[in-house]
Amino acid sequence: MDNEIVFLGERIIENKFHIAKNVNDRRLAEYTEDLREQVAPYENELINIRAHFISLFGEVLRDQLDEEKSIEIISNWGNETGELIFKSGAPLEEALKDTRYYRSYIWREIKNEIEKNNMSIDIVFKIGSIIDPLMDHAAYAFSLTYITHFKSTMINAKTAVLELSVPVVPLKRGVAILPLIGNIDTERAKLLIEETLKTANRLQLEKLIIDLSGVYIVDTMVAGEIFKVIDALKLLGVESILTGIRPEVAQTIIGIGLDFSGIKMTANVEQALGDFV
């Protein structure tokens, strides 16, 4: 039986481009006309990528690789290809549709060779116990890598947006303004403290105007974070002043009993600048 497995592995490798083209043609038939035109310039490259993947299964059979080595080879393929497909911008669900066609056409090749060479039914079960788990693992490894890169990109994008939402703008030497806009949740509040302190230290600030004219909701959590920023800045020797509190926000502050009496405040940025000059 081992000789038959080696033989089937060699046949898969020999016919990898034929199998790859069948997979490719089947996938292209499912594409819209616009998508077919979009991928047409890369068709040869796609077939080469598909042929390489197919050859891995042939190598596993031909070289009689053990399970650990087989999994390693397929995992490496999943890591490389998952990253490549993610960077190409292709949707994960579209890429995963390839799996059923790889399975189908590889098995078609195996079936033809088994029938042609009058091999026993036992070889079918043996090959199935090798090919099918590896194909499932390929889909898993590919998806895991794709999703990992997707999550990393989302986290980086969110961090970038959050950092842009904490813009400490220098006005003159030793003086800057921090215009806050929108809601302040826990994650943004944490970044608010970190980025403000880093920037205050880098710019060697003496005074910071915190403009709240773009903040529509101030609850105990938001107020608590503002107090933390002001207290932390005070430890760095930076004087803070709050400005731009909206009338409806002022009513909320009074209604929930928040105490801003110990913090210097002005009606608008112009008054704050006058106070700091």
Which residue ranges form the domains of the chain, and what is each CATH number?
A: 2-161 (1.10.490), 169-276 (3.30.750.24)
The pLDDT score that the predictor gives to residue 158 is 57
Residues 248-272 have a mean pLDDT of: 78
What is the tens place of the pLDDT at every residue in 99-154?
Answer: 889 999 999 999 998 888 988 888 888 988 999 999 999 999 989 988 888 888 77
Tell me 237's DSSP state.
Answer: T
Whether the pLDDT of residue 51 is over 90: the answer is: yes
Question: Among residues of the chain, what percentage have pLDDT more than 90?
Answer: 23
Long-range Cβ contacts of 151-156 (<8 Å, 24+ apart)? none
Query: Any residues with CB less than 8 A from the CB of 122 and at least 6 apart, and which?
Result: 1
- Measured CA to CA, the distance from residue 167 to residue 170 in angstroms comes to 10
The pLDDT score that the predictor gives to residue 93 is 79
Q: Which helix (H) or strand (E) holds 121?
A: helix 121-164
User: What pTM does this model have?
Assistant: 0.59
Between these two residues, 148 and 181, which has the higher pLDDT value?
Answer: 148
**Residue 28: both structure tokens together:** 């292209």
